Amino acid sequence: SVALTALQSGGVGVFDKTDGALFTLPEATASTVGLYYDFVVQASIASGSYKIITGNAADFMVGSVFMDDSDTGLATTAQAANGTTHVALTMAGTTTGGLAGAFIRMTCLSATQWLVQGHILHTGNVATPFATS
């Protein structure tokens, strides 16, 4: 588990433990607007999950990620974070992603929202990686 700080803005969080990892974003405040963090999946998840969560239950994710189905000719869909209830992005393998090559950027937009952008690789029928906890 890694609790990110403002000093780490612009850095890259690497998901390379195949049994899961957790990154917690700083709490969104007026002074954190503009901070951003990039994440890459270096090793495909085998058990557990890869998770990015906001630092406060009242901070929400807004935006979207493209999801490529790596076992059916890279069919692409988009999954959206609604900005009002989603606080986490979780890749638990297969349908929610977590395969090597994924990229996600989180940017603090306001005192209550993080913009999520990215490209996630998955297998099987796609399911949203966004969650309320």
Measured distance CA(14)–CA(65) in Å, rounded: 18
In whole angstroms, give the CA distance from residue 6 to residue 25: 9
Going by C-beta distance under 8 Å and a sequence separation of 6 or more, which residues neighbour residue 7? none
Q: Which residues contact 66 (CB under 8 A, 6 or more apart)?
A: 76, 77, 78, 118, 119, 120
Residue 98: is its pLDDT beyond 80?
Answer: yes
pLDDT value at residue 105 = 98
Residue predicted with more confidence, 123 or 85: 85
Task: Give the mean model confidence (pLDDT) for residues 101-129.
Answer: 96
Which tokens in the block code for residue 11?
């850095």
Dihedral angle, C-alpha 109, 30, 37, 81, nearest 10 °: -40
pLDDT digits (tens, 9 = 90+) for 6-51: 999 999 999 999 999 999 999 999 999 999 999 999 999 999 999 9
pLDDT for 76 equals 86
56-90: pLDDT as tens digits: 999 999 999 999 998 876 678 999 999 999 999 99
